[in-house]
């Protein structure tokens, strides 16, 4: 990637994509900007009198944006019907202040910020946002979302839990340690629970559902990460004990593919040239999906392979393994009697 500097700027990516961004003066974008892909298709932007217009490669206006916070911001586009539609984002001034009490780390604020209050859709339905109070009863907020009202009328609510100081924060990196999530269909007094544990770079997020109305128990999913990247996901019916209903391993750049269960312990290095997913049902054979990428992140190949053991007789122990290599190729191989899928 190469970058030129002001008074004009141009960013050229290895893929051949070129971005000429607008420059910002006094907090507002000015002049023209464009983005051109390696095939020559171009999206251009131009700001005049506070209105930014995006034009596609055919010369058609794709989007206009008018206004800046704290004033409402209008996003106008042509709907499939051919009529002009708009989405309006309105803001509310909030005094943002943290009180996470992490040792040797300064708190933020109190500083006034313009936070998104409502997003109104073309049919006048809307999303409405509220924010977590700094302390109980405080008018100041931490900036973390407390609830989202959906266009359908239901509300999803969040409460932050755990962490080094019981404020929902992992002090080492400022990330969220856990929260509960209440949805419109959540039974009264119950919620979804998300709890993050571990130390960098290996973390596990444990997701616990409300009580299942059929089984009367909460179902658990455990998701393991290396840094920001998922490496294993186990889904259980009920508590996280015994054999999971499903297990998924995600391996990167070919590391660990011979032994997928080792992938959660391996460091993940970017960029990715290969991402391989292995999925097992009830502890059975692994189904493999292998995606190979070029140096720009574009998909080169996407193949699947499933091993299915077939017991020939109660005394034989000589299974056939059917490897689904692609949609056009099926291979059947005999394996030694000692094979145990």
pLDDT score of 288 more than 80: yes
Q: What is the pLDDT of residue 40?
A: 85
pLDDT band at 26 (very low <50, low <70, confident <90, very high): low
Q: For position 228, what pLDDT does the model report? A: 93
Q: Would you call 167 helix, strand, or coil by DSSP?
A: coil
Q: What ranges make up the beta strands (E) of 40-189? A: 42-48, 51-55, 61-66, 73-78, 84-96, 111-120, 126-133, 141-149, 155-160, 169-170, 175-176, 178-182
**Residue 104 and residue 87: Cα distance in Å, rounded?**
43
Q: What is the residue range of 43's domain? A: 1-66
- Whether the full predicted model's pTM is greater than 0.85, yes or no, is no
Mean pLDDT score of the chain, rounded to an integer? Answer: 86
- Same domain membership, residue 89 and residue 57: no
Are 95 and 178 part of one and the same domain?
yes
Number of domains in the chain: 2
Alpha helix positions (H), the chain: none
Q: Which tops the pLDDT comparison, 61 or 324?
A: 61
Domain boundary (174, 200, 226) is at: 200
How far is the C-alpha of 10 from the C-alpha of 33, rounded, in Å?
Answer: 9
- In a shared domain, residues 28 and 121: no
Cis peptide, bond prior to residue 70, ω within 30 of zero = yes
- Does the pLDDT at position 191 exceed 50? yes
User: Looking at the DSSP assignment, which residues form a beta bridge with residue 337?
Assistant: none
pLDDT tens for 224-283 read 999 999 999 999 999 999 999 999 999 999 999 999 999 999 999 998 999 999 999 999
pLDDT in tens, 159-186: 999 999 999 999 999 999 999 999 999 9
- Please tell me the predicted confidence (pLDDT) of residue 325: 38
Residue at a domain's end among 142, 166, 200: 200
- Cα–Cα distance list, 126 to 29, 92, 129, 147 (Å): 27, 15, 10, 13
**100 lies in some domain:** yes
Q: Are residues 72 and 191 in the same domain?
A: yes
* Band of pLDDT at residue 28, cut at 50, 70 and 90: low
pLDDT at 329 over 60: no
Lowest mean pLDDT among 83-92, 241-250, 315-324: 315-324
Backbone angles phi, psi at 131, to 5 degrees: -125, 150
Based on the fold, state whether residues 113 and 17 are members of the same structural domain: no
- Phi, then psi, of 261 in degrees rounded to 5: -65, -15
Contact 35, 17 (CB under 8 A): yes
- Where does a domain end: 200, 218, 236? 200
Q: Tell me the β-bridge partners of 19.
A: 11, 35
Nearest 5°: CA angle at 169, between 166 and 175?
Answer: 165
- What is residue 262's three-state secondary structure? helix
Q: What is the pLDDT of residue 334?
A: 34
- pLDDT of 291-310, one tens digit each? 999 877 888 898 887 654 44
Domain-located, residue 314: no
Do residues 129 and 148 lie in contact, with contact meaning Cβ atoms separated by under 8 Å? yes
Q: Verify that 44 and 166 share a domain, yes or no.
A: no
Same domain, 82 and 178: yes
């Amino acid at each position: 990637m190469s970058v030129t500097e002001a008074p004009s700027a141009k960013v050229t990516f290895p893929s051949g994509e070129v971005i000429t961004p607008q420059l910002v003066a006094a907090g507002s974008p000015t002049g023209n900007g464009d983005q051109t892909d390696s095939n020559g298709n171009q999206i251009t932007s131009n700001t005049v009198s506070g209105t930014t217009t995006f034009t596609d490669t055919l010369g058609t206006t794709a989007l206009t944006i008018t206004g800046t916070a704290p004033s409402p911001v209008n996003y106008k586009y042509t709907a499939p019907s051919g009529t002009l539609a708009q989405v309006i984002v309105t803001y509310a001034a909030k005094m943002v202040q943290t009180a996470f009490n992490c040792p040797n780390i300064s708190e933020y604020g109190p500083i006034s910020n313009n936070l998104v209050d409502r997003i109104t859709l073309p049919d006048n339905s809307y999303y409405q946002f509220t924010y977590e109070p700094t302390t109980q009863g405080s008018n100041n907020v931490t900036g973390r979302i407390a609830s989202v009202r959906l266009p359908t009328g239901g509300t999803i609510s969040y409460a932050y839990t755990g962490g080094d100081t019981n404020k929902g924060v992992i002090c080492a990196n400022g990330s969220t340690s856990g929260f509960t999530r209440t949805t419109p269909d959540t039974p009264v007094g119950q919620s979804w629970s998300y709890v993050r544990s571990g130390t960098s770079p290996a973390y596990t997020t444990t997701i616990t559902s409300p009580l299942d109305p059929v089984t009367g128990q909460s179902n658990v999913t455990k998701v393991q990460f290396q840094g920001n990247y998922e490496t294993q996901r186990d889904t259980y019916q009920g508590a996280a004990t015994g054999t999971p209903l499903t297990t998924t391993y995600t391996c990167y750049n070919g590391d660990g593919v011979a032994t997928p269960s080792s992938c959660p312990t391996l460091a993940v290095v970017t960029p990715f040239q290969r991402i391989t997913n292995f999925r097992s049902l009830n502890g059975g054979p692994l189904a493999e999906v292998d995606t190979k990428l070029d140096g720009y992140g574009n998909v080169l190949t996407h193949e699947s392979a499933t091993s299915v053991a077939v017991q020939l007789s109660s005394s034989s122990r000589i299974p056939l393994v059917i490897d689904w290599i692609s949609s056009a190729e099926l291979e059947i191989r005999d394996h030694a009697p000692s094979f145990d899928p």
